[in-house]
């Protein structure tokens, strides 16, 4: 059996020819053993082929004036015949004819014509129903539209969706059998099947592979072979591609047998159009489902680091995640004394505690529309003013920090029976320029900043423990604030790994209390004396915060007094008042 493929500018036909001669030419004849070529440079009768044994084919040039070009640069002159080894090809006019041996047998007992429906025959055609055949009655059309609507309203990708499609091929169009085939891992799988009667028949892989290769609908029509040939269960097939995301992902497949039609099995142009419409509905549904899944995945990726509101905005405008130079405010938060605590609690309790803590800290960040840059061990990093512009980004970071500190007592009460002590946080905040973008992959996003600003914010967080406060921000952040916050100037500091001196301020969660305000005023006066080299006056001014009766004793006051005691009794020449913190 031969597989014959004919291609030219306006025609694409593939035929499985069982036996006997097959002719090619422009002339139309009532005989079925002929392929009509739509090419003005082809003779009315141009070629005849006959399959021979041992993988050979006899080719005869019927044209009286025009030769046929053969493979390997040879030609077949008018009136000449020649045996060729399969597979091979021939060229007549602008038409190429390819000949190969069929890999298997036709499902039917008669030769079939396999036709690729061209652009003018696809569902985008403006041809009317009357031109396609007998126009259905209004009741029939109403039923058709109702069925199509039911298919469209089924949940895309569900079993019901595919089952309704296969059922529509039979009950709506009137074919004997309907299939929905999906392409998975390079192979075809029957996803849904519906038929008027039980059938063990499969499907034509020749047809579906042709659909896949050409991305067009294919109609397989049986041909009358010889008088007396049985047409029982000879099938006509229509297969239309399911296209989603510009890829053929499946096929809607319908067939009709000669037994059910009482003669030669046929699929009418109107029926073929409706199968194509069903395939388009399935493709649209799968495309919509794919987009919904991609959107859900994108939203899930965004919600790993952003609030739900910001995640929705990023989903609408993903270009916001592109790299950019921005001024941002960065916050680092860290659980104090984590190592000894984790050794005491064990792995299970430690991770439950961390999970509870990170949930609460994340809520504080998201409440101020911040972005989680990363979680690390016992802490997190967050930022503001990227990817969306937030003119009050410094204020948002400070409010998030205060909320973290104010929510800590509730977490502490919940875990105190397990931890056996109080939980404490250290928070560092800095505002500055950074390069912001996605440093991760398409599968796992890692959106965040890079540069000196991030490093400095981390160093500021490390100062909190050394100076005895919970939250510290830099002078750059203080200058960016728009609202009033409880702040205390701590010092000019030189931090580990940072060359320039940095102004540091305490951000106090209990800044509204009279005790804190008294300690703040005394400390800032003492700091002024210290920076002028008047160490005796500085220590005297620190007395309110260092008095044994103070409850609790003021951390910065204690730290400054100990720092003064560690220095020489008299200030050295050129003393600049900068406080050096050598450790991270």
Instruction: Return contacts of 404-411, CB within 8 angstroms, 24+ apart.
Output: 404/333, 404/360, 404/361, 404/364, 405/470, 405/471, 405/509, 406/509, 407/360, 407/364, 411/356, 411/357, 411/360
Give the CATH number of domain 108-125+136-303.
3.30.450.40
Q: Are 378 and 335 in contact (CB under 8 A)?
A: yes
Taking only the tens of pLDDT, the chain with its 584 residues reads 888 888 887 777 888 888 889 999 988 877 668 888 888 889 999 999 999 988 899 999 999 999 999 987 789 999 999 999 988 989 998 888 999 887 544 443 334 555 566 543 443 333 333 334 455 666 666 666 666 666 666 655 567 889 989 999 998 888 999 999 999 988 999 999 999 766 656 788 888 998 998 888 888 876 544 344 444 455 789 999 999 878 999 999 999 886 665 556 778 878 888 899 899 888 888 888 788 777 777 777 788 788 888 888 888 888 888 889 999 999 999 999 888 888 889 999 999 999 999 999 999 999 999 999 999 889 999 999 999 999 999 999 999 999 999 999 999 999 988 888 889 999 999 999 999 998 877 677 888 999 999 999 999 999 999 999 999 999 999 999 999 999 999 999 999 889 899 999 999 998 888 889 999 999 999 999 999 999 899 999 998 666 655 445 789 999 999 999 998 877 777 889 999 997 76
pTM, two decimals, is 0.60
Residues in the chain, total: 584
Within a 13 Å sphere around the CA of 185, how many CA atoms are in the beta-carbon half?
A: 1
Query: Rounded distance, CA 162 to CA 189, Å?
Result: 12
Query: Rounded distance, CA 526 to CA 564, Å?
Result: 11
CATH topology of domain 1-105: Tumour Suppressor Smad4 (2.60.200)
Query: Taking Cα atoms as reference points, which of 31, 24, 28, 32 lies closest to residue 7?
Result: 24
pLDDT value, residue 103? 56
pLDDT value, residue 373? 94
> What tokens does 264 get?
């030669």
Query: Rounded distance, CA 561 to CA 469, Å?
Result: 15
> What tokens does 152 get?
């469209």
Query: Rounded distance, CA 469 to CA 451, Å?
Result: 26
DSSP type of residue 77: -
CATH topology of domain 308-488+497-509: Alpha-Beta Plaits (3.30.70)
């Amino acid at each position: 059996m031969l597989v014959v493929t004919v291609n030219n500018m306006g025609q694409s036909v593939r035929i499985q020819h069982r036996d006997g001669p097959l002719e090619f030419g422009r002339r139309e004849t009532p005989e079925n053993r002929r392929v009509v070529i739509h090419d003005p440079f082809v003779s009315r009768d141009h070629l005849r082929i006959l399959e021979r044994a041992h993988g050979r084919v006899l080719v005869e040039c019927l044209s009286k004036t025009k030769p046929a070009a053969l493979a390997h640069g040879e030609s077949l002159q008018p009136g000449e015949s020649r045996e060729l080894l399969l597979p091979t090809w021939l060229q007549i006019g602008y038409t190429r004819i390819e000949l190969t041996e069929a890999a298997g047998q036709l499902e039917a007992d008669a030769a079939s014509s396999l036709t690729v429906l061209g652009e003018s025959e696809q569902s985008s055609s403006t041809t009317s129903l009357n031109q396609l055949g007998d126009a259905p009655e209004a009741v029939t059309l109403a039923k058709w539209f109702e069925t199509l609507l039911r298919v469209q309203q089924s949940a895309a990708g569900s079993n019901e969706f595919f089952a309704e499609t296969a059922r529509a091929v039979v009950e709506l169009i009137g074919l004997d059998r309907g299939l929905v085939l999906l392409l998975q891992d390079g192979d075809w799988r029957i996803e849904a099947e519906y038929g008027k009667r039980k059938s063990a028949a499969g499907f034509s892989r020749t047809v579906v592979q042709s659909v896949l290769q050409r991305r067009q609908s294919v109609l397989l029509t049986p041909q009358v072979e010889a008088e007396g040939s049985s047409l029982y269960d000879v099938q006509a097939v229509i297969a239309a591609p399911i296209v989603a995301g510009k890829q053929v992902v499946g096929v809607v497949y319908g067939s009709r047998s000669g037994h059910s039609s009482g003669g030669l099995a046929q699929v009418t142009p109107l029926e073929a159009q409706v199968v194509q419409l069903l395939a388009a509905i399935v493709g649209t549904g799968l495309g919509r489902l794919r987009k919904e899944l991609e959107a859900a995945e994108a939203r899930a990726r965004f919600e790993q680091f952003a609030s739900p509101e910001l995640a929705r905005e990023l989903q609408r405008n993903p270009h916001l995640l592109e790299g950019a130079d921005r001024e941002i405010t960065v916050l680092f938060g860290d659980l104090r004394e984590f190592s000894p605590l984790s050794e005491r609690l064990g792995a299970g309790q430690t991770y439950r505690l961390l999970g509870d803590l990170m949930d609460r800290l994340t809520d504080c960040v998201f409440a101020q529309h911040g972005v989680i840059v990363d979680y690390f061990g016992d802490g997190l990093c967050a930022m503001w003013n990227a990817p969306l512009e937030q003119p009050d980004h410094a204020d948002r970071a400070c409010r998030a920090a205060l909320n973290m500190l104010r929510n800590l007592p509730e977490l502490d009460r919940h875990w105190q029976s397990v931890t056996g002590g109080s939980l404490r946080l250290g928070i560092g905040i800095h505002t500055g320029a950074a390069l912001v973008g996605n440093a991760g992959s398409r599968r796992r996003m890692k959106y965040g900043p890079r540069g000196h600003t991030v490093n400095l914010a981390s160093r500021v967080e490390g100062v909190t423990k050394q100076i005895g406060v919970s939250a510290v921000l830099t002078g750059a952040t203080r200058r960016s604030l728009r609202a009033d916050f409880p702040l205390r100037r701590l010092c000019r500091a030189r931090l580990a790994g940072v060359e320039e001196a940095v102004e540091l301020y305490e951000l106090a969660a209990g800044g509204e209390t009279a005790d804190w305000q008294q300690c703040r005023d005394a400390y800032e006066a003492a700091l002024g004396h210290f920076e002028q080299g008047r160490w005796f006056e500085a220590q005297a001014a620190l007395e309110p915060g260092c008095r044994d009766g103070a409850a609790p004793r003021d951390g910065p006051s204690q730290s400054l007094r100990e720092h003064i005691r560690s220095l020489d009794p008299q200030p050295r020449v050129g003393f600049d008042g900068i406080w050096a913190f050598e450790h991270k």
